[in-house]
Amino acid sequence: MEDARRTVLILIGSLITAAGLQFFLLPNHLLDGGVTGASIVIAHVTGLPLGVWLVALNAPFVYFGYRKFGAKFAVYSLVGIITLAILTLKHVDVGVTEVPVLAAVFGGMFVGIGVGIVVRYGGIIDGADTIAVLIDRVTVFSVGEAIMVINAIIITMAGFVFGWNEAMYSLIAYFVAHKAIDVTVEGLNESRNMWVVSLQIRDIGNAINELIEEPVTYVKESNPRHREPHGVMLVVITRFQEERVKKAIRAVDPRAFITISKAHEIIGKVSEGSLQRDV
């Protein structure tokens, strides 16, 4: 049942991606980077359908994913890629809009949401991230730097093939798609880890517990007799709670030290009163 649900959602993600390509990006000679962007450029140069290149260029990464992540990943990815390929074999001649900036924004949004759905439910329809991981392993470039270099090359190719105005609008499409993927995969209500260091850590914890349901975790208590008297506390919050929680902390201790980072995955719940005492 779960496999069927994931397959349906991956089909929906591929359909949304195809809509962004067919009705916004392709009619305006725009692209969004990655393997899909490279496929668009090569399809235009060779005259072969885009769907053919989507399958051909993504095939090595499906195989790599199969070796690394297993058969289910490969099957889900094939479902997404083949669906997208079929839906883009024949191009729509006239898109929803001929205004390039609107096509870039809405096309990027549709593509990003579609790709994000596929990734969220266990597959890929663009192997660019896999290339980046391989580059990271054999060079000094990080994954983020590799992705940036790959897409810079693809956008430059688009400039020579379609024109530099189209290349610059494609940059907009790429950034919109990238953000849409993040939001779709992580959710609008994405979580943050907030670490707080303060001499009044218990008072801060009580103030936060009045605002949010999830209890705070005291890693170290405040103790004025110790050489390091500061207390340390961890709390998991959402992006919508962030400002209210920071305001509550400042109201108790304006000098509290706070660090905030994204939490990519939250599993389970901390029991109330969880505490590791200083020894």
Please list the pLDDT of the chain residue by residue as tens digits (279 residues).
788 888 999 999 999 999 999 999 999 999 888 889 999 999 999 989 999 999 999 998 888 878 877 888 889 989 999 999 999 988 887 888 989 999 999 999 999 999 889 888 888 888 776 666 566 566 666 555 667 777 888 888 889 989 999 999 999 998 998 888 877 876 655 678 999 999 999 999 999 998 887 788 899 888 888 888 899 999 998 877 888 899 999 999 999 999 998 776 666 665 544 444 443
Domain holding 232, by residue range, is 191-263
The verdict on 67 and 35 lying in the same domain is: yes
The verdict on 174 and 96 lying in the same domain is: yes
Backbone angles phi, psi at 47, to 5 degrees: 85, -5
Virtual torsion, Cα 121, 124, 129, 134, nearest 10 deg = 110
The verdict on 241 and 256 lying in the same domain is: yes
Domain count of the fold of the chain: 2
The verdict on 60 and 118 lying in the same domain is: yes
Cα separation, 26 vs 33, whole angstroms: 13
Contact in structure between 112 and 177 (CB atoms under 8 Å): yes
The verdict on 83 and 213 lying in the same domain is: no
Contact in structure between 21 and 89 (CB atoms under 8 Å): no
Cα separation, 106 vs 26, whole angstroms: 12
Cα separation, 49 vs 85, whole angstroms: 9
The verdict on 163 and 47 lying in the same domain is: yes
Tokens at residue 209, please? 């517990």
Beta pairing partners, 258: 196
Q: What is the CA radius of gyration of the chain?
A: 23
Cα separations (Å) of 118 from 48, 75, 148, 190, 277?
A: 25, 12, 22, 18, 44
Virtual torsion, Cα 12, 15, 16, 20, nearest 10 deg = 170
What's the confidence (pLDDT) of residue 274? 44
Domain for residue 277, yes or no? no
Cα separation, 259 vs 194, whole angstroms: 6
The verdict on 81 and 126 lying in the same domain is: yes
Domain for residue 202, yes or no? yes
Spatial strand order in the sheet of 191-198: 217-220, 231-238, 191-198, 257-263
- Whichever domain contains 236, its CATH number is 3.30.70.120
What is the 8-class DSSP label of residue 275?
A: B
The verdict on 142 and 67 lying in the same domain is: yes
The verdict on 157 and 198 lying in the same domain is: no
Other C-beta atoms lying within 10 Å of the C-beta of residue 110: 26
Cα separation, 143 vs 256, whole angstroms: 34
Q: Which residues have a Cβ under 8 Å from the Cβ of 269 and sit 6 or more positions away?
A: 214
